[in-house]
Chain A
Amino acid sequence: MIINIEGLEFGYSSTPVLKDVTAKLEGPKFISILGPNGVGKSTLIHCINKILTPTTGTVMIDDREVKEITIKEMAKMVGYVPYSANDTFPLTVVDTVLMGRHPHSHRGSLDKDLDIVYETLEMLGILDLAMRSFNELSAGQHQKVMLARGLAQEPKILLLDEPTSNLDVRHQLEVAKMLKRLSREKDILVIMICHDINIAAKYSDEIILMHEGTVFDVGTPNEVITRENLETVYGVDAKVIDDDGMPHVILKDSYPEKKPVKIDSDIQETSETPLETA
């Protein structure tokens, strides 16, 4: 699976978010997208799976323009694990994960669909939650169920929006390990948005670092996670050490804002875009 992004631009009415993003994501692989709040990480993956339509630029999946792919076709190829889930009318875990089968299911496919639901629940170790109601679960369990739903789509590409943000340390590691395993064992191109630099550095095959609405650096964790990059993009002073061949970040201090914020509210001069999209 190859995703080719060329000159992608996107803005919410008057506010530009993505500016001239160009990247090539080739899988199967475990890719992390890193960057500060509001830099456009969620926006970028939403432009990949057609949740948003870019203002200019192209996104191609395996040499097919995403514009030409229908939502239904897209759902068969690309799984999406959102940041949070709607809880208004909760279903059981099985029913929730079954919804992931929607792009593939048809009359009489319930049996096969349940087989696949079983496989995903088992793989994620949440089989005992099968008949529980979604709103009775903890945040960690929620996340695994959402992940199961995305996997039930049998996708070739899996997009995850901050899957570890709400989790305790053990679950953070478990989920990251699992995603890496998936990219290997199931040949999936896994693309994860992450706020935890160390988790991303430890498990990803490749990191895309975004800054001011565009791609700042791409490469292996060792190439991208450097003191200079962290200073420029995140505005932090950090020490990067080697841990078993992978970089590990020790945060020392934050730098003050690059330019002072003027009192005149018409002119906002910060180094970050005002929108929080993550």
Chain B
Amino acid sequence: MFSAEGSNADGSAKDQMKEEYRKYTFRKVLFMVGCATILIILFGYALTLGSHKIDFFTVFTTIGNHIMGATYQIGTPEWTNDYLVWEDRLPREAIAIVAGVGLAIGGAAMQSVVKNPLADPYTTGISSGAVLGVTVALALGITAGSIAGNYGLVANAFLFGMIPTAVTIIVSRISKTSPATIILAGVAMSYLFNAMSTLILISSEAGKIQEAFLWQIGTLQWTTWDDFPLMFIIVAAGSIVLAFTSKQLNILTLGDESAKSLGLNADNYRLLVLVVLSLMTSAVVSFIGIIGFLGLVSPHIVRTIIGSDNKYVIPAAAIFGAMFLLAADLIARMVINPGELPVGVIMSFIGGPMFLILILKSKKGVW
């Protein structure tokens, strides 16, 4: 129907348009590279910080030696460095990156699914589900004291976190109305699950109440390498799926009618996205508690800078989210010395005002 060659006069105008387009997309890639650079710098810097400062060169050699299999005598300064870097700081930062990626991509995807820039990964009620899971586990006598107990809490949080999503999906399939249905169902689920948690807690002893409360605060303080593999696998798999179907995510945002006319089965794809992002979010929340604002603000800021094409928003939000969480965790660790504040609290302190500023400054109308 259209010839790909065109006349000679067309040629230069066509090339000009293509050239402009490529420059446009290149700028987006540049932004991502910039964020990735900051991420790497933060990562390196964070490894040197803590109650016991270690200079960068020592950090570097310690990691190198550890990979080579070096062991040390307990109590020697080398052993201390190795322990701090390898068992304390490295897993914490690795998990911060994975969690940042998971929450930011989850937020970007959820916003596209419900066509609302105010959505975040918890819109379908996952956080209240996870809290209920933990509450139930604690009430049944499982505590975080033992390793088995810890796994029990995590597993329960994960499973219960998926229930609100399942209900939301079923409701939206049955009633088949607008994307607002998903949001409203999520709100309903949150209220319901919070109510159940409260009921269980008020009949529990003070110790359990405290444990439940402390659990759901978003913090990276207790993370170990044990927490890493499962979170990493789920977030990596989910991110790959969403990144590779970013075109479909764009089309989904057009509305079900236009989506179908372009060949996308909107109902099925929406289901896939909700399941994937629920798994990712549940995986993150089960291990490190509830960290708010990251999933909401990261995609937002990214869209303001590079536009709304999900092909670039998804990876950019991932890098930005990881960078953001790492930075917040740094602040969490260093703002009071000794000791630290929970990163979830820091994130809300930063995220809240930041979001207000975003709303006020928004002239481009990314909404």
Q: A130 on the interface (CB 8 Å rule)?
A: yes
A109–B18 CA distance with the chains assembled, in angstroms: 13
B250 touches A91 (CB 8 A): yes
B14 touches A118 (CB 8 A): yes
Residues of B within 8 A of A130 (CB): 17, 20-21
Residues of A within 8 A of B367 (CB): 88
A118–B18 CA distance with the chains assembled, in angstroms: 8
Residues of B within 8 A of A133 (CB): 307, 364
A114 touches B265 (CB 8 A): no
1/0 per residue B88-119: CB within 8 Å of A? 00000000000000000000000110011100
Q: A230 on the interface (CB 8 Å rule)?
A: no
Contact segment of A1-9, A98-106, A210-218, A236-244: A98-106
A131–B22 CA distance with the chains assembled, in angstroms: 11
Q: B303 on the interface (CB 8 Å rule)?
A: yes
Q: A122 on the interface (CB 8 Å rule)?
A: yes
Asked, given contacts A78-B261, A102-B247, A102-B263, whether A85 binds B17 with beta carbons under 8 Å apart, the answer is no
Asked, given contacts A102-B264, A103-B263, A115-B2, whether A131 binds B254 with beta carbons under 8 Å apart, the answer is no
B261 touches A80 (CB 8 A): yes
Q: A79 on the interface (CB 8 Å rule)?
A: yes
Residues of A within 8 A of B254 (CB): 85-86, 99
1/0 per residue A119-141: CB within 8 Å of B? 11110000100110101000000
Asked, given contacts A82-B257, A94-B17, whether A119 binds B6 with beta carbons under 8 Å apart, the answer is yes
Closest to A105 in B: B247
B258 touches A85 (CB 8 A): yes
A50–B256 CA distance with the chains assembled, in angstroms: 12
Contact segment of A69-77, A194-202, A268-276: A69-77
Asked, given contacts A88-B115, A114-B21, whether A119 binds B2 with beta carbons under 8 Å apart, the answer is yes
Q: Which of A46, A88, A133 has the most CB of B within 10 A?
A: A88
Q: A154 on the interface (CB 8 Å rule)?
A: yes
> Interface size (A, Cβ < 8 Å)?
45
A86 touches B117 (CB 8 A): no
Q: A51 on the interface (CB 8 Å rule)?
A: yes
Closest to A118 in B: B14
Q: B305 on the interface (CB 8 Å rule)?
A: no
Closest to A116 in B: B2
A127–B15 CA distance with the chains assembled, in angstroms: 12
Closest to A75 in B: B263
A55–B14 CA distance with the chains assembled, in angstroms: 47
Closest to B5 in A: A115
CB distance from A160 to the nearest CB of B (A): 11
Asked, given contacts A90-B308, A95-B309, A99-B250, whether A71 binds B17 with beta carbons under 8 Å apart, the answer is no
B18 touches A46 (CB 8 A): no
Residues of A within 8 A of B24 (CB): 92, 131
1/0 per residue B331-367: CB within 8 Å of A? 0000000000000000000000000000000001111
Q: B202 on the interface (CB 8 Å rule)?
A: no
B261 touches A154 (CB 8 A): no
Residues of B within 8 A of A204 (CB): none
Residues of B within 8 A of A75 (CB): 261-263
Closest to B303 in A: A89
Q: B224 on the interface (CB 8 Å rule)?
A: no
CB distance from B275 to the nearest CB of A (A): 21
Q: B205 on the interface (CB 8 Å rule)?
A: no
Q: B4 on the interface (CB 8 Å rule)?
A: yes
B257 touches A115 (CB 8 A): no
B18 touches A153 (CB 8 A): no
Residues of A within 8 A of B265 (CB): 71
A186–B3 CA distance with the chains assembled, in angstroms: 12
B13 touches A122 (CB 8 A): yes
Q: Give A residues with C-beta under 8 Å from B.
A: 46, 49-51, 71-76, 78-80, 82, 85-86, 88-92, 94-95, 99-100, 102-103, 111-112, 114-116, 118-122, 127, 130-131, 133, 135, 153-154, 186
Q: Give B residues with C-beta under 8 Å from A.
A: 1-2, 4, 6, 10, 13-14, 17-18, 20-21, 24, 111-112, 115-117, 247, 250-251, 253-258, 260-265, 303, 307-309, 364-367
Give me 13 other A-B pairs in contact (C-beta within 8 A), A86-B115, A122-B13 excluded. A49-B260, A51-B256, A51-B260, A74-B261, A75-B261, A75-B263, A86-B254, A88-B115, A89-B366, A99-B262, A112-B4, A114-B18, A127-B13
15 CB contacts below 8 A, A to B, read A49-B261, A75-B262, A75-B263, A78-B261, A82-B257, A85-B254, A86-B258, A89-B117, A103-B262, A103-B263, A114-B18, A114-B21, A115-B4, A118-B17, A133-B364
